[in-house]
């Protein structure tokens, strides 16, 4: 069916077309994303664009919505609108409410859908289309790791939102990525003494674990910490992140010989699994002659709200709590300033996800201001080894070797008789930062490499 | 030219021109204007247009020609991506071996699934492929974590061996040194156009894939596949075994999907399990039907249409809406924002669903039929008959 007709005209035409195709690559010899300024998306006009990539759908949508509120508030404060929030208490005075380096802060938002693929696509469009010079937000470690990798390649700064996996600043750490939130290892270290005090050192634990990077490292950390107390680990069952009904996972727990159930779940997952566990009567059950107990290593007010009265008495850890300054004093200054401006704008207190995102935005803006440049390498240098205070967590260090913040960890319990729907947890203690600090080459964090900071030029 | 008749040659030339000038065509609004929101000419989205175009062309070879509705095609895209990322991890960042392996893996995987699934036709075939795809998704998501890195997604680490990565070569996917991410931004007045290396690689692959699809559509083999679609029973009665033909079509279409997956990983070296989920498989069915199943250009149009909605409409938030309607009095502004709100941003699925319904009800042949109707209206006086073999194929119903 093919008729081969070689004509002079045809050969000429094909030759010209081929030449055109072959010449195309020469277009790309110039600087790539950088526009004459040495780094990706250098702001040229009177504004600078930040990209806020949060889950607006999926199991972590509540956290995402709260993060977005915090970002809006932070941008307001950076632009000198509102009451300034934590800028008043922040130990650095570089920011004066006139934007960042005199440029007004604007922002674009995206939906991560709590899926690595979707999160990266959304972050790419913010970087490529909207010219975002920094990406922040997110409520899943899987997404944080994926987006952090993208930001490293694209040459923009990634200020992680809520991500609690050890890997984010361990195995998967990147030079362009920074995490303010605490991690699974810290949770476990802070909780172990509390668990020993509450439940003794002779316990048998059954783990239900969300099947992704955060769940794995959370389970690994809490298992190591509790086994150091003398606890025994009966079983560890991995559950899919997308699961909404955990009955089939809870049913075998009672007959397993365990007397503690550890729910390494977060967000909607935890709300559902805890509700299932309570429905199965685990809270009233006894095993091995002891009262059955439930532990939720990573806690949040939003989850407590979702789980309702089921949360009563259940211990867990948090990065921050909106009541901390009132209850534990001036060390945690900034908290009240933030809670007040957030409450005035939205009518309820912020969650820890909101707090960490707000703090990250302020820290980024401050680092740019101190560095005098939006260049990611200059910003990274300004953040590395930076010690600050007044952002609600007490004195904090941004460690240079892994870009992880070190600060006090809050251990909390569900209140037995909450007064209102926002006051659902009580603070048990704040574990000082020294007790949760670890070596960057600790076995749970080893194997990673920050690499070189990438300005994208 | 190239063994095509005049009409097909023109189609190929038009597609070539469209892909060549896409960075300009897709950025019709000045960068600082309020309509810049609707610009789609940034590298990520342009790459997605062509990659999903390839995916849909391949799907259409199966669905459009044989009428077999596979509901698990995303599985091949997924394995293609994983294969490509593994090549990056083991060999180095050159995209050529990655793309080649992704096609091979797609083919092998399709042969396996097709061999079993094609024992049934109609709805049973769809269910079988769906089951296989969901199985692959579940495997990738948890059981095969050492190979797929589970929910985090497979990515390249600095500690990976990369045996053939030369010391001077770029640290991101490249085509013999030409970085896929390399972008030259042309500024002309208020306009800015992104000329991206990765996009043009994808576009070149799209043209080859499109050309091969045309040849396949017009070949005796394509005719055989159409025979399967129009009446498989009659085909059996004439003593022909349709299975080898359908299996070949299935494998070819799996190779296209694998190729699309490999390209996706080449543009952004991360493979997540979500791209194998059934929603992703459903998406390519939508693309093909929306554009026009059984037509050559339809699937590409459908892919572009859906990706545009996903990426552009989903980014219109309340702030943007208030910006648009800001000139109106407050009351009317708020009412309008409330009315439009459910259809943009998170609600882009709703808009897409409505459009899909409209297309299926009023234009069963998809966007291509819409184009043909307009064409007929315009050229009516000349008495030209639009369509031909393509329109004919589009009208045919899928096999029982």
In sign, the C-alpha dihedral spanning B286, B288, B293, B298 is positive
Contact (CB<8Å) B181/A240:
no
Give phi and psi for A153, each to the nearest 5.
-70, -40
User: A185-318 is classed in which CATH architecture?
Assistant: 3-Layer(aba) Sandwich (3.40)
Domain boundaries, chain A: 47-182+324-402, 185-318
The candidate with the shortest Cα–Cα distance to A56, out of A113, A135, A130, is: A113
In angstroms, rounded to a whole number, what is the distance separating the alpha carbons of residues B197 and B255? 23
Please name the residues between 191 and 210 in chain B that touch chain A, using a CB distance below 8 Å: 194-195, 197, 200, 204
Quick one: pLDDT band at residue B400, thresholds 50, 70, 90? very low
Percent of chain A with pLDDT over 90: 65
Instruction: Specify the pLDDT at position A166.
Output: 93
Q: What is the DSSP string of A148-160?
A: HHHHHHHT-EEEE
B3 in reach of chain A (CB within 8 A): yes
In sign, the C-alpha dihedral spanning B153, B159, B164, B170 is positive
**For A61, which residue in chain B has the nearest alpha carbon?**
B346
In angstroms, rounded to a whole number, what is the distance separating the alpha carbons of residues B278 and B18? 31
Residue B49 in tokens:
């247009």
Neighbour count for residue A451 (Cβ, 10 Å): 14
A34 in reach of chain B (CB within 8 A): no
Domain boundaries, chain B: 16-278
Quick one: pLDDT band at residue B186, thresholds 50, 70, 90? confident
Q: Mean pLDDT throughout A71-76?
A: 95
- If you count them, how many residues does chain A have? 457
List pLDDT tens digits, range A326-347. 999 999 999 999 999 999 999 9
Q: At what angle do helices B366-379 and B348-362 cross, to 10 degrees?
A: 50
Question: How many angstroms separate the CA of residue B377 from the nearest CA in chain A?
Answer: 34
Contact (CB<8Å) A32/B179:
yes
Please name the residues between 35 and 54 in chain A that touch chain B, using a CB distance below 8 Å: 35
Query: H or E segment at A104?
Result: strand A104-111
Q: Which residue has the higher pLDDT, A447 or B108?
A: B108
Quick one: pLDDT band at residue A19, thresholds 50, 70, 90? low
In angstroms, rounded to a whole number, what is the distance separating the alpha carbons of residues B79 and B100? 13
In angstroms, rounded to a whole number, what is the distance separating the alpha carbons of residues A445 and A221? 11
Q: Which residues of B touch A150 (CB under 8 A)?
A: 268, 270
In angstroms, rounded to a whole number, what is the distance separating the alpha carbons of residues A402 and A445? 9
List pLDDT tens digits, range A209-244. 998 889 999 999 999 999 999 999 999 999 887 788
Please give the interface size between A and B, counted as residue pairs whose CB atoms are below 8 Å apart.
Answer: 117
The candidate with the shortest Cα–Cα distance to A388, out of A411, A410, A365, A372, is: A365
Contact (CB<8Å) A117/B153:
yes
| A187 pLDDT above the threshold of 90 | yes
List pLDDT tens digits, range A123-159. 999 999 889 999 999 988 989 999 999 999 899 999 9
Instruction: Specify the pLDDT at position A45.
Output: 86
**Which of A116, A211, A266 best tests the B interface by mutation, with the highest count of B CBs <10 A?**
A116
Question: How many angstroms separate the CA of residue A109 from the nearest CA in chain B?
Answer: 7
Q: A240 near A268, Cβ under 8 Å?
A: no
In angstroms, rounded to a whole number, what is the distance separating the alpha carbons of residues B89 and B269? 10
Contact (CB<8Å) A451/B158:
yes
CATH number of A47-182+324-402, picked from 3.90.420.10, 3.40.50.2300, 3.30.70.20, 3.40.605.10: 3.40.50.2300
List pLDDT tens digits, range B146-158. 898 887 788 888 7
| B399 pLDDT above the threshold of 70 | no
Q: Between β-strands B178-179 and A104-111, what pairing exists: parallel, antiparallel or unpaired? A: unpaired
In sign, the C-alpha dihedral spanning A439, A445, A448, A454 is negative
Q: Which residues of A touch B8 (CB under 8 A)?
A: none
List pLDDT tens digits, range A232-284. 999 999 988 778 899 999 999 988 999 999 999 988 889 999 999 999 999 88
In angstroms, rounded to a whole number, what is the distance separating the alpha carbons of residues B263 and B245? 27
């Amino acid at each position: 069916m093919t008729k081969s007709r070689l004509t002079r005209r045809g050969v000429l035409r094909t030759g010209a077309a081929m030449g055109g195709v072959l010449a195309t690559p020469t277009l790309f010899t110039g600087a790539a994303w950088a526009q004459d300024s040495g780094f990706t998306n250098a702001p040229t006009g009177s504004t600078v664009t930040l990209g806020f990539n949060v889950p607006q759908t999926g199991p972590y949508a509540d956290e995402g919505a709260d993060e977005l509120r915090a970002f809006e508030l932070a941008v307001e404060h950076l632009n000198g609108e509102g009451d300034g929030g934590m800028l008043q208490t922040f130990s650095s005075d570089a920011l004066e409410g006139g934007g960042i380096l005199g440029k007004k802060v604007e922002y674009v938002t995206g939906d991560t859908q709590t899926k690595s693929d979707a999160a990266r696509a959304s972050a790419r469009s913010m970087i490529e289309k909207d010219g975002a010079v920094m990406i922040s937000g997110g409520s899943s470690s899987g997404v944080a790791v994926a987006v952090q990798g993208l930001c490293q390649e694209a040459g923009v700064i990634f200020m992680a939102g809520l991500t609690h996996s050890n890997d984010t600043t361990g195995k998967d750490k990147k030079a362009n990525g920074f995490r303010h939130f605490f991690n699974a290892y810290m949770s476990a270290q802070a909780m172990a003494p509390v668990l020993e005090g509450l439940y003794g050192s002779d316990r048998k634990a059954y783990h239900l674990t969300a099947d992704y990077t955060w769940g794995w490292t959370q389970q690994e950390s809490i298992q190591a910490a509790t086994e150091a107390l003398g606890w025994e680990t009966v079983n560890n069952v991995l559950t899919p992140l997308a699961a909404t009904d955990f009955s089939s996972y809870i049913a075998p727990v009672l007959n397993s010989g365990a007397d503690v159930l550890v729910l390494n779940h977060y967000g909607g997952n935890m709300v559902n699994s805890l509700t299932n566990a309570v429905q199965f009567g685990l809270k009233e059950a006894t095993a091995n002659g002891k009262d059955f107990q439930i532990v939720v290593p990573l806690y949040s007010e939003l989850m407590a709200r979702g789980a309702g009265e089921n949360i009563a008495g259940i211990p867990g850890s948090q990065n921050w709590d909106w009541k901390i300054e009132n209850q534990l004093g001036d060390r945690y200054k900034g908290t009240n300033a933030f809670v007040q401006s957030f409450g005035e704008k939205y009518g309820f207190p912020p969650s820890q996800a909101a707090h960490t995102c707000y703090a990250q935005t302020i820290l980024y803006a401050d680092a740019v201001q101190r560095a005098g440049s939006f260049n990611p390498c200059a910003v990274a240098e300004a953040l590395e080894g930076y010690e600050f205070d007044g952002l609600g967590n007490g004195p904090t260090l941004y460690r240079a070797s892994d870009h992880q913040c070190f600060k006090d960890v809050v251990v909390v319990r569900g209140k037995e008789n909450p007064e209102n729907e926002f006051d659902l947890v009580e603070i048990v203690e704040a574990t000082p930062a020294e007790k949760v600090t670890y070596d960057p080459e600790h076995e749970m964090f080893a194997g990673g490499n920050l690499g070189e900071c990438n300005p994208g030029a | 030219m190239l063994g095509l008749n005049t009409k097909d040659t023109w189609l190929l030339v038009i597609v070539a021109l469209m892909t060549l000038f896409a960075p300009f065509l897709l950025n019709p609004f000045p960068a600082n204007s309020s309509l810049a929101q609707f610009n789609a000419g940034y590298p990520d989205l342009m790459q997605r247009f062509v990659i999903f175009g390839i995916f849909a062309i391949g799907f259409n070879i199966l669905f459009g020609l044989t009428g077999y509705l596979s509901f698990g095609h995303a599985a091949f895209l997924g394995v293609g991506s994983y294969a490509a990322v593994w090549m990056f991890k083991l060999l180095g960042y050159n995209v050529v071996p990655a793309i080649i392996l992704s096609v091979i893996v797609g083919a092998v995987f399709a042969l396996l699934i097709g061999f079993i699934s094609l024992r049934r036709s109609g709805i049973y075939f769809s269910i079988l492929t769906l089951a296989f795809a969901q199985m692959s998704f579940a495997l990738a998501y948890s059981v095969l974590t050492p190979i797929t890195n589970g929910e985090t997604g497979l990515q390249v680490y600095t500690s990976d061996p990369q045996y053939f990565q030369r010391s001077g070569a770029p640290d991101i996917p490249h085509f013999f040194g030409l970085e896929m991410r390399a972008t030259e931004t042309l500024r002309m007045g208020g306009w800015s156009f992104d000329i991206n290396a990765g996009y043009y690689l994808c576009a070149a692959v799209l043209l080859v894939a499109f050309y091969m699809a045309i040849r396949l559509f017009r070949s005796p083999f394509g005719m055989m596949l159409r025979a399967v679609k129009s009446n498989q029973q009659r085909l059996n009665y004439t003593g022909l075994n349709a299975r080898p033909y359908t299996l070949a079509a299935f494998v070819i279409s799996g190779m296209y999907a694998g190729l699309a997956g490999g390209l996706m990983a080449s543009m952004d070296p991360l493979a997540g399990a979500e791209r194998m989920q059934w929603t992703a498989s459903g998406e390519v069915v939508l693309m093909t039907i929306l554009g026009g199943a059984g037509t050559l250009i339809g699937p590409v149009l459908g892919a572009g249409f859906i990706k545009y909605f996903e990426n552009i409409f989903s980014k219109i938030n309340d702030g943007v809406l208030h910006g648009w309607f800001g000139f109106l009095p407050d009351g009317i502004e708020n009412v309008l924002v409330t009315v439009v709100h459910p259809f943009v941003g998170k609600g882009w699925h709703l808009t897409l669903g409505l459009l899909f319904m409209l297309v299926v009800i009023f234009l069963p042949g998809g966007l291509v039929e819409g184009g043909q109707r307009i064409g007929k209206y315009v050229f009516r006086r000349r008495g030209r008959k639009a369509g031909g073999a393509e329109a004919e194929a589009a009208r045919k119903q899928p096999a029982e």
